[in-house]
């Protein structure tokens, strides 16, 4: 079983049609709040994907590198078509994406330039 910080070889090959099933969009964080009730340190994010997707909530274990007051306005990538997941008393509606740093702590993924909200990764 691999971990979130696994840097081993690539996962098993999938078809391009399988990749297209994962809907990854860019959104702008509009609110970030501490989530002290979480088992592991986390923040509650509200992300604006614009258009028909709108505002979605996400729980993210990103407290090592990010403070809540620094996040509004930051663009991030998230999977928007997974079913909602209950994280304690909080319903996480999207999976905010990140990669591990050298210590396994999450670093958020986002575009290098400002792009329109709701843009799909291709």
Determine, yes or no, domain membership for 77. yes
CA atoms in the 13 A half-sphere facing the CB of 46 = 6
Question: Can you give the pLDDT of all 122 residues of the chain as single tens digits?
Answer: 334 556 678 999 999 999 999 999 999 999 999 998 888 889 999 999 999 999 999 999 999 999 999 999 999 999 999 999 998 889 999 999 999 999 999 999 999 999 999 999 98
Domain with 49 in it: 23-108
Determine, yes or no, domain membership for 11. no
pTM above 0.85, yes or no: yes
Determine, yes or no, domain membership for 121. no
CATH at residue 83: 2.40.50.140
Tally of structural domains, the chain:
1
Determine, yes or no, domain membership for 114. no
CA atoms in the 13 A half-sphere facing the CB of 14 = 9
Check residue 54 and give left, alpha or beta (phi > 0: left; psi -120 to 50: alpha): left
């Amino acid at each position: 079983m691999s971990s979130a910080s696994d840097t081993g070889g690539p996962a098993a090959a999938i078809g391009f049609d399988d990749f297209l099933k994962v809907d990854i969009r860019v959104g702008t964080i509009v609110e970030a709040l501490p989530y002290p009730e979480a088992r592991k340190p986390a923040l509650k994010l509200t992300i604006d994907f614009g258009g028909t997707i709108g505002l979605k909530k996400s729980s993210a274990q990103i407290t090592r590198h990010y403070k809540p007051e620094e996040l509004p306005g930051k663009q991030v990538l998230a999977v928007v078509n997974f079913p909602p997941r209950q994280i304690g008393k909080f319903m996480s509606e999207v999976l905010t994406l990140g990669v591990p740093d050298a210590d396994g702590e999450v670093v958020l993924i986002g575009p290098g330039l400002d792009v329109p909200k709701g843009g799909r990764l291709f």
